[in-house]
Amino acid sequence: MKKQLLHPDYVIVGCGVSGLYCALNLPKDSDILMLSKDAFDHSDSFLAQGGICVLWNEDDFDDYFEDTMKAGHYENNRESVKIMINSSKELINDLVTYGVDFHKDENGEFVFTKEGGHSKKRILFHEDITGEEITSHLLEAAKQRENITMMEYTTMYDLMVANGRCIGIKAHSKKDELYDINAKYTILATGGIGGLYRHSTNFPILTGDSINLAKRYGIETEHLDYVQIHPTTLFSTKPGRRFLISESVRGEGAILLNKDGERFCNELLPRDIVTKAIKEQMKDDHMEYVMLDMSPIPKETILNHFPHIYEYCLENGYDVTKQPIPVVPAQHYFMGGIKVNTNSHTSMPGLYAVGETACNGVHGKNRLASNSLLESMVFAKRAALDIIAKEGKQ
């Protein structure tokens, strides 16, 4: 089969928030090619429920920093954490210009919620589909840019390397079309590894493609064993992706119960601690799940803040306003990945990695809730700015 040769300035592999935001921050007069392994809206960014953290009050910096470090067992890269936090307000303001609609009160002021591991409310949200709200607006903006070409159902299977430098990628389409894509810079934004697990909240297409190529080419990786399990997904015996019950549900007051209807842990501790408590309780109860009781949350709040969780559970036979639901931990997020610096550059010249496939050290050993969307976009923009700076020196 004849290969097609493509020559964009930049190729971005992945169409989640990190890939999209990177593309939108690259020069408008550059030629950008974006690839999606599946449909454009089948990135895990669309699945993020809870929200996105922001340092809206400067007095909160120390607490926010400590919450992130504590959740990460103090294995975080302190400089990366500072960059993320200090960039958050500017990022939120930018997202608003793209049309992202974060929840506001009757006075038009942002409403903040709280999740596990946070010492105070600092999370912005849009109902219980914050990821979809953000990603859909960024996707629409990218589609409208004349300099951005987007290809669905196209999978990267190899890097193109010359004299130790990445000069692009090799890809194939769903129709078995082959592409050699030569680019000045390559940005990997291929997401996590959930597709390798039996129980995961991730789309099954996320199989660590970039990680595998990094290992093949000797590109530095870091903390490949740092995998986060989310404490609460709706229990099911059906095959396929597990439905996430957002951390925000517990942040708003939901409690965890054992088989006797007794509360057994502090629901607002970091995810790894809550997950451990749930697994121990399941073992003690000889059960495959524990129960999550949302009755402490006012019904109006459930219907307004968590309408999609309410509807999905109802479709599966549970009315969360009237009864507890069975929940079980499942693989959720990958804190390790391709090692990058604070500008998202890998150890290979010409190659960047952003989003969940990259490891800049922000999350340490365990990610603090609602830091993922923020971290992905902050460091995606830094990749774009670093590329622009290098281009200016050439």
271 is catalytic: yes
Phi-psi label, residue 237: left if phi above 0, alpha if psi -120 to 50, beta otherwise: alpha
CA distance 91 to 124: 12
Closest CA to 377 of 28, 89, 68: 89
Closest CA to 70 of 228, 272, 243: 272
For 2, phi then psi, to 5°, come to: -70, 135
**DSSP assignment of 263-299:** B-S-TTS-HHHHHHHHHHHHHHHT-S-EEEE-TTS-H
Neighbours of 58 (CB within 10 A): 9
Catalytic residue among 242, 271, 367, 382: 271
CA distance 199 to 328: 10
Q: Which tokens in the block code for residue 257?
A: 């119960």
Helix (H) or strand (E) holding 25: helix 17-25
Q: Report DSSP state, residue 200.
A: B
Residue 35, class by beta-carbon neighbours within 10 Å (0-12 exposed, 13-18 middle, 19+ buried)?
Answer: buried
Cβ-proximal residues to 230 (8 Å cutoff; 6+ apart), any chain: 201, 244, 247, 271, 275, 329, 330, 331, 332, 333
Closest CA to 296 of 253, 238, 237: 253
**DSSP assignment of 124-176:** E-STT-HHHHHHHHHHHHHHH-TTEEEESSEEEEEEEEETTEEEEEEEEETT-
CA distance 47 to 60: 28
CA distance 63 to 174: 47
Q: Would you please indicate which residues are annotated as catalytic (active-site) residues?
A: 271
